[in-house]
Structure 1
Amino acid sequence: MSTSIATSHTATPHKGLPPGPKGTWIGGNLSQIGPRRVDFFLMLAQTYGPIASFRAGRWRLFLVSDPELIQQVLVTDARSYIKHFGARTFKPVLGNGLVTSEGDFWLTQRRLLQPAFLKTQVLSYAPVMAELTEAMLAKWVPGTSVDIAFEFSALTSAIALKTLFGLDDHGDRVRVDESLRLTFELLTHRLDSLFQVPLVFPTPANLRLKRAIADVNAVIDGFIAQKQAAPPGNDLLSTMIAAQREDGTQMTAQQLRDEAMTLYLAGHETTALTLTWSWYLLSQHPDVEQKLVAEWQRVLGGRAARASDLSALTYTAAVINEAMRLYPPVYVIGREATTDLELGGYRVKKGYTILMSQWVNHRDPKYFPEPERFLPERWLDGLASRLPKFAYYPFGGGQRLCIGVHFALMEAAIVLATVGQQFKFTLAPDAVIDIMPQITMPPKYGMPATLTRR
């Protein structure tokens, strides 16, 4: 895949569009995109180069795969873009939280939440992560079958509730996770549709979506009410309830709900997927797993991982990096131009959408030889420091870099090492493993495996 292109902010843009596949008059390229849209993105980059054009219904989109051009969008020209229509599709459930809000309002909220994710604060969460992981392992029975995706989602959501909200896990967590899964399925289907029936019309799909969102809201409201009734704590939810803005106002009940919903989702979903896909890859590469086990035996000697161990778990970090390269939890970022711009020698008109896909960039052979091969060793010689900033960006980039980077990486390492010392997973022989791109990228049919005591 070619990724080099000369860029100039002063060059006169081409009058035409970047190259791309032909589409139909009404739907554009919708029928070509399909449910595995990442394959379409990869085809675009490999066939048409570092900037390609296509259409989805009425939306004109550019797929950009050159790291310098991505930096131009996410950093240099960031103020000239907003989140794209795909992100706005998920506003019915995410509201105006940190993922979807814009401008000065977003910046105010980001500053409010940032202290909970500073590295020193995140380190204090490590004992809770290890304790809840060991509690999960105590319930596992060797020889039984589990869905790895479900188990890690349950664990990381319990960790998010305890560390960020100061709440213990209970049945409502299961209820909100089930409703969230249904909500994202329905919203993704809505995003893929040529004609979106406004939510005010009571179609069967709209009614199902509204019921699922109402169920999610009820549970999140319950979390907030439970915290409001308790003495103030040091957790993030307590901070949000008590926090005042510069003008002396506090968050409205709706804004509190939106931020709590966003943080709950972001605080567990991406790490659960990183763990799920890591164990899938390890199940297919026993040689890598043996190297991991040797590192855990040498550094940990059978005990749960601590924050102070992370610097010595270099191969563990390499496995996590490589899993996020092949299966990035967030596989695409989109921005919509708010004014006419230039990008890669082409004119980006106001309203055009720029897509940047981690799935595509993480498979560029220019930076990752044998890109489809699971090879953690590639990260052991300082590769991360040599790569362009946007050749590998599982947590996004620019001012909207994921607020929970340190949280997610520490959690993934602690859970992976603590689980892996006690159990290994054997994938079910009849398991069908496929991806299901939504706002994140869960396995389409789960990840069924048999537990074996190590």
Structure 2
Amino acid sequence: MSSLTGPAPLKTSPLRKIARDIRYERRATVPYPPGETRFSMTRTRRFAEDPLPVLLEAYEKHGPVFTVRILHGNSVFLLGPEANHHVLVSNAANFSYREGYYSDLFPLLGDGLLTIDREFHRRSRRIMLPAFHRQQIAASIATIDEEVDRALVPWRDGQKIDLYEWTRELALRIAMRALFGLRNETAPQAAVDFEQALGFYAADYLLQALRGPRTPWARMKAARARLDVLIYGEIRRRRASGERGTDILSLLLDAEDEAGASLSEAHIRDEVMTLLFAGHDTTTSTISFLFYELSHNPEHAAAPMGQLIDETLRMYPPAWIAPRRALGEFEVCGQRVPAGAAVNYCSWASHHLPDVWPDAWRFDPARFTPAAKEALQKGAYVPFGGGSRTCIGMRFAQAEVDVIGRRILERWRLDLDPGYVLAIRQMPTISPKHGMPMTVRAA
């Protein structure tokens, strides 16, 4: 049985990336779209700390396609339904994830669905799809139910909790069981190692560029090595014993594509790590922001859970930006963009455009009634991407958030601590920078 042949390993040193960006920019055969193209440390710092106002101001000034210079290079941003549909669906083949800034994730994730392109992506995704069919998601509900019920046992009326930390621990336990089938003593340590590895991407970008001992890079590599020992050990143990379960790792061990190709050990490791990365923080952030909004808007607590989730993901899409590289010159919304340009669609900004979403800063689940969803423009609502790059774990994430949200609302009301001011961290996904301190109240 043959295995899929993956692409050549990425070289991701900061100096190489800077040199590559400068080289592409110098080779541009058409001007970049209008925008903020002069170097500005103030703009760079604003973008790092709070990018949403920067992007919305540029949209108001320049329209849906514009350029923003961040540090050493120009980045083209595409906002709004037409631009989103162009990059996700109608001209998707012209954009590379692997050549874009998602390559920053390669040192941890390897060649998972987030960092691969074209035929290798198509075949990998096809092999993995059965693990995310509706029947498989339905089978995972029992695991989610059990872990949520266990996590809610200690709650008491008047108890103070950090909802973000509580949900993160819960989501990691669910992921360890649903992805790896782990529920023994190795699961807690694996969760700690994963959080430590992920911490690299939450560090300041300049700190990420440092190499050597005691740097965020060194800590990430050490945590990654411990995770690799666990994952490869579990893969080899199960292949040797023939043991299988209902977890996704078990399904990937036996998966084949239409040509009979299977996944190598390294490919399975990379996909499992990618799913863990993509899934756990989506759930954690969505639950945190959902109950933040319900604390401010308690009149919506009785709305259908699906509408509550959709509106939360509109206002706070965890994967808020999707960086790509343009493989060829293209035109969209009346603007030409050169080949080699760093191109980003940004769901967070697109979901706050006032000409697409009236009163966009107001939490309103009624935006997502069945009739309202049917009337949405293509590309207006893209929290999980679109086209062939739609998040493969979307249904699992929605089911997990649905169960957690329902279980909490059945018995409890969560009140935000007085004086709490929301600040949002953007990397690696958007999340509350200072947690989500709340008081548990009996419903």
Q: Taking structure 1 as the reference length, what is the TM-score of the superposition?
A: 0.83
Contact 1:157/1:267 (<8 A) preserved: no
**Post-superposition CA distance 1:266-298 (Å, at most 9, x none):** 233212221111011111112222x24xxxxxx
Tell me, yes or no, if structure 1 residue 385 matches structure 2 residue 374. Answer: yes
Q: Distance in 2 between matches of 1:30 and 1:194?
A: 15
Q: Which residue in 1 is equivalent to 2:12?
A: none
Contact 1:185/1:438 (<8 A) preserved: no
Contact 1:184/1:438 (<8 A) preserved: no
Q: Following superposition of structure 1 onto structure 2, how do residues 241-252 of structure 1 map, counting pairs within 5 Å?
A: 241-244=253-256, 250-252=262-264
**Post-superposition CA distance 1:362-394 (Å, at most 9, x none):** 112223211101111222262111111211111
Q: Following superposition of structure 1 onto structure 2, how do residues 231-380 of structure 1 map, counting pairs within 5 Å?
A: 231-244=243-256, 250-289=262-301, 291-292=302-303, 315-380=304-369
CA deviation after TM superposition for structure 1 residue 139, in Å: 2.8
**Post-superposition CA distance 1:21-50 (Å, at most 9, x none):** 24228x795344232223322222223211
Amino acid at match of 1:276: S
Amino acid at match of 1:344: C
CA deviation after TM superposition for structure 1 residue 244, in Å: 4.3
Q: Secondary structure at the match of 1:34?
A: helix
Q: Secondary structure at the match of 1:330?
A: coil
Contact 2:39/2:70 (<8 A) preserved: no
Q: Following superposition of structure 1 onto structure 2, how do residues 196-235 of structure 1 map, counting pairs within 5 Å?
A: 196-197=209-210, 199=211, 204-221=215-232, 223-224=234-235, 227-228=238-239, 231-235=243-247
Q: Secondary structure at the match of 2:425?
A: coil
Tell me, yes or no, if structure 1 residue 34 matches structure 2 residue 53. Answer: no
Contact 1:28/1:56 (<8 A) preserved: no
Contact 1:367/1:387 (<8 A) preserved: no
Contact 2:33/2:337 (<8 A) preserved: no
Q: Percent identity?
A: 29
Relative distance call for 1:334 and 1:132 in structure 2 (3 A) is same
Name structure 1 gaps, 5 residues minimum. Answer: 1-12, 293-314
Contact 2:179/2:248 (<8 A) preserved: yes
**Post-superposition CA distance 1:156-214 (Å, at most 9, x none):** 2222233333332x554444444444434433546x349945x5x55734323322333
Amino acid at match of 1:39: P
Amino acid at match of 2:366: E
Q: Secondary structure at the match of 1:163?
A: helix
Q: Which residue in 2 is equivalent to 1:297?
A: none
Q: Distance in 1 between matches of 2:217 and 2:124?
A: 30
Q: Of residues 135, 145, 150 in structure 1, which corresponds to 2:150? A: 135
Name structure 2 gaps, 5 residues minimum. Answer: 1-27
When the two structures are aligned, how many residues end up with a matched partner?
414
Relative distance call for 1:141 and 1:230 in structure 2 (3 A) is farther
Q: Distance in 1 between matches of 2:207 and 2:326?
A: 22
Amino acid at match of 1:127: A
Q: Secondary structure at the match of 2:325?
A: strand
Q: Which residue in 2 is equivalent to 1:51?
A: 65
Q: Secondary structure at the match of 1:318?
A: helix
Q: Taking structure 2 as the reference length, what is the TM-score of the superposition?
A: 0.85
Contact 2:78/2:84 (<8 A) preserved: yes
Q: Which residue in 1 is equivalent to 2:9?
A: none
CA deviation after TM superposition for structure 1 residue 351, in Å: 1.6
Amino acid at match of 2:344: L
CA deviation after TM superposition for structure 1 residue 411, in Å: 1.9
Contact 2:64/2:79 (<8 A) preserved: yes
Q: Of residues 424, 427, 440 in structure 1, which corresponds to 2:429? A: 440
Q: Which residue in 1 is equivalent to 2:386?
A: 397
Relative distance call for 1:382 and 1:339 in structure 2 (3 A) is same
Contact 1:59/1:352 (<8 A) preserved: no
